[in-house]
Structure 1
Amino acid sequence: MISRFGLVKRKTGLDDEAFLSHWRGTHGPLAARLPGLRSYYQHRIEDARQFGVDHPRGGWDLDGFSELQFDSVGAMKAAIASPEFAPTVEDVAKFLGEIRLVVCEKNVVVPLALGDGPFVKRMSILRRHPHVSPADFRREWQERHAEFVRHWPNVLGYTQNLVIDRYSAMAETAAYEAVPVDGIVEFWFRSKDDVAALFKSDLVARTQEHAHSFIAEITTYFVETVQIA
């Protein structure tokens, strides 16, 4: 399973209500028609504060993340080569001022178990240190770092999305410098209070000490997620 994430910023002059209405009501149904699409989520940013982590924040200024899931990279490329893709490209200019995209391999570390209670979702953008190779980043994140997080209490779910390709526009591949993202984190917790308490613990302090060895920037967001397809 792969995810194609859009890192989106609304068009200048468009307020949050109009942006959200167009994204969910107009653009969502267009993208949902793509052949081979397994799932489609829109993650609206509701809190852009740097929360919990002590890493520097990246230069991202976003309003949301789109997420289109496909069985494979080949299935995704077939979708963006299809006739159904063109209307989504034309529509982007009507409500987005900027979009960058990353294609990711999903790695579920803590399977999602929300139960019946309330929950919050936090997403983070990761950038590796310049001296850390992509292969070393992958190993440190998916092996040692993941093992740390498996032992955290009060985590309802944790998924790592490793970037394997980048786009500076809807269908134009880009160099790393144009879209400097190495991973996207998805965390689920019962509440922000649980997050705050957890990130004050010694266990998380040890995890973050390890994170500093290979991650240069972490940009955190709390999001509201809606499934479109």
Structure 2
Amino acid sequence: MFVRSGLIRKRPEWSDEDFRRHWLGQHAELAARLPGLRRYEQNHVTDSLQRGFTYPRGPEQLDGFSMLWFDSEQAMREAIRTEAGQALVADENHFIGDLRIVTIDQMEVIEPEADRPLLKRMSLLKRRDDVLPDEFKSEWRQEHAHLVKRVAGVRGYRQNLIVGREAPKGHPVERDGLPIDGIVELWFDDTESLNAAFASPKGQTLMTHAREFIAEITTFLVERHVIVGARG
């Protein structure tokens, strides 16, 4: 599956309320018309406090994350060339001030529970300068995933390894142009359980390991909306 995520900042003249209403309304309707779109999620940023731990934070300020799933990169490009795709792009220019795209290799470590509402947090990861890309991938996908599974209170956990970057959209760049290496999706019952998870002994072990390969963790609480595809 080919997965793309948009790092979104609204136009400055748009209020938070108007931005969210338009994104969830007209823009979501346009995206749902894309041929071959298998899944589409919007994650509206509601809070950018560094909750649960003290950790160096990057400079990113975001209003939302989009995620779109296609069968392949070719299917995605064909969809954008259609009339529906061009209408979607035109609407992006209407209400989005800054849009950067990352292509991701997604791994679901703990499937999020779907039978009740959950709090969702997304985080941008930047690897340490002395850690090579393959080392970052190995530490994150193996040991770190194992340690997260041991932390009580985690209701879902997804790792998104970044394998391609566009800054702005449509302009491929190397890592220097968008120095983010991963996107974390974590689910909890509420903010209290989030804080308790990281404060626990196993949560502390997890963050000790993070310092071995991660330089910055930039966190956001988000409100998740599944536009296309089954909830999960």
Q: Does 1:210 align with 2:209?
A: yes
In 1, Cα distance between equivalents of 2:45 and 2:61: 10
User: What is the 5 A alignment of 1:1-229?
Assistant: 1-116=1-116, 118-229=117-228
What code does the residue aligned with 1:112 have? P
What code does the residue aligned with 1:50 have? Q
Gaps of 5+ in 1: none
Instruction: Report SS of the residue matched to 2:199.
Output: coil
What code does the residue aligned with 2:20 have? L
Instruction: Report SS of the residue matched to 1:130.
Output: coil
- Of 3-12 and 21-30, deviating more is 21-30
- Of 170-179 and 132-141, deviating more is 170-179
Summarize the Cα distance change of 1:173–1:82 in structure 2 as closer, same or farther, 3 Å threshold.
Answer: farther
In 1, Cα distance between equivalents of 2:132 and 2:47: 31
Cα deviations across residues 162-203 of structure 1 (Å, max 9, x unaligned)?
111011133222221221111110111111100111111111
Cα deviations across residues 86-114 of structure 1 (Å, max 9, x unaligned)?
22222112111111110111101112224
Gaps of 5+ in 2: none
In 2, Cα distance between equivalents of 1:33 and 1:177: 34
In 2, Cα distance between equivalents of 1:6 and 1:89: 13
In 1, Cα distance between equivalents of 2:85 and 2:130: 38
Summarize the Cα distance change of 1:34–1:215 in structure 2 as closer, same or farther, 3 Å threshold.
Answer: same
Normalised TM-score (structure 2): 0.93
In 2, Cα distance between equivalents of 1:69 and 1:9: 21
What code does the residue aligned with 2:108 have? V
Aligned length: 228
Cα contact 2:52–2:196 (8 A) shared by 1: no
Normalised TM-score (structure 1): 0.94
Shift of 1:81: 4.0
